Amino acid sequence: MHEAEPFGPERSHPQTTSRPIPRVAFVCTHNSCRSQMAEAIAKQIAKGTFAACSAGTHPREHINHQTLQTLANHGYGTDGLRSKPLDDIPPVDWVVTMGCGVACPALPCAHREDWGPEDPSGKDDSSFETCLALIEDRIADLKKRMEAAL
């Protein structure tokens, strides 16, 4: 596994400098749509609460262009996003699978949950908007749960 992913120079939680912030991996099959949305959104919404990354069990060569466009339309940064396999992410504390029936037994973690948003790939723009809104809500909820646990 690589440790060079851009999760910021510091992993210390802002409220307690001695405790590292948790790492959350958003995982789906192709790492080209939902998990990429989750990574980009979390890096903005949950910055300082958890470090986000994403990967796929069978990643595509490129991120879905509608995913990048939808993220950009909502002001989310897409620099540095790329489809990657599970081996390219650092050790994580949480794994959030994004549906697809993805099982990641080779990705150890302390907590695992499945959000299961419908895959908008190949559908119209409104499907991407719906997916993005669902992921925003779930990330806000995850951030709130993590902050409450501190």
Is 104 catalytic? The answer is yes
**53 included as an active-site residue:** no
- In angstroms, what CA-CA distances link 129 with 67, 89, 119? 9, 27, 11
Sign for the CA dihedral angle at 9, 13, 19, 20 comes to negative
- The catalytic residue among 33, 104, 109, 131 is 104
Residue of 53, 100, 109, 131 marked active site: 100
Handedness of CA 65, 71, 73, 79 (dihedral sign): negative
33 is catalytic: no
Find, among 114, 52, 105, the residue nearest to 77 by Cα.
52
95 strand-pairing partners = 25, 112
Per the residue annotation, which of 28, 33, 53, 131 is the catalytic one? 28
Catalytic residues: 28, 100, 104
